[in-house]
Amino acid sequence: EDQVTQSPEALRLQEGESSSLNCSYTVSGLRGLFWYRQDPGKGPEFLFTLYSAGEEKEKERLKATLTKKESFLHITAPKPEDSATYLCAVQPGENFNKFYFGSGTKLNVKP
Amino acid sequence: EAQVTQNPRYLITVTGKKLTVTCSQNMNHEYMSWYRQDPGLGLRQIYYSMNVEVTDKGDVPEGYKVSRKEKRNFPLILESPSPNQTSLYFCASSPRVGSGDGYTFGSGTRLTVV
């Protein structure tokens, strides 16, 4: 069964304190893994797509990496405006019309 | 501005009263999808559409209907809403399946069924 698990559920950081969020997945062949950011009261906003193990993508203070079983979203020197819920989603290769989302990690960065 | 527009943003209705949530995108995207978001369960796919007149079930389609008569519109229909359909609903689109561009999401519709 295709499954996505994100950890931790919530993370509180001080401004400037780097950390990582985890997304582990079980899927029938991976076509793509996606990271999104969701602010309260809004729809998710697309951040990255990763396709194969070893791939990395960066955007400002965020870097996403991918292995065969999990993905990490590394946050370097976070700022309060990075506070949001971060979601990952996988697109299985056997049916790439479907997407499976994790429950998200709620990040709170204190000034 | 490129966007996905959902209406209404908030809706309170009674059990059994048919309702429609509209979704429109202005990006000429082929692929559209509906999700519901519940605490602890994440986003779950209800229905998706690969193009005009082509739709298929996601993981939680029971109690919902969709149609795709035009490329830009993808309404979600609840023929007889029940309290377990109380949720936050999102419409999303992408250029085409497998494009790697990720979805553009609407702002959401918070539905309460009493």
At A48-86, the pLDDT tens digits run 999 999 999 999 999 999 999 999 999 999 999 999 999
Is the pLDDT confidence value at A35 over 90?
yes
pLDDT confidence tier of residue A88, bands split at 50, 70 and 90:
very high
Residues 6+ apart with CB under 8 A from A60: none
pLDDT, residue A45, reads: 96
| Residue B96: predicted pLDDT | 86
Chain B CB contacts of A104 under 8 Å are 42
Q: Which residues of chain B have pLDDT under 50?
A: none
Q: With bands split at pLDDT 50, 70 and 90, how would you rate the model's confidence at A2? A: confident
Q: How many CA atoms lie within 13 A of B42 on its CB side?
A: 22
Residues of chain B in contact with residue A31, where contact means CB-CB under 8 angstroms, are 98
Cross-chain Cβ contact A98/B58 below 8 Å? yes
Model pLDDT, residue B97 = 79
Q: Is residue B89 a contact partner of residue B75, using CB atoms and an 8 Å limit?
A: no
Q: Which of B104, B14, B73 is nearest to A34 (CA)?
A: B104
Give, in order, the Cα–Cα distances in Å from A84 to each of A25, A38, A62, A94. Answer: 22, 6, 13, 31
- The residue behind tokens 């082929």 is B30
List B71's β-bridge partners, or say none. none
B103 CA: distance to closest CA in chain A (Å):
6
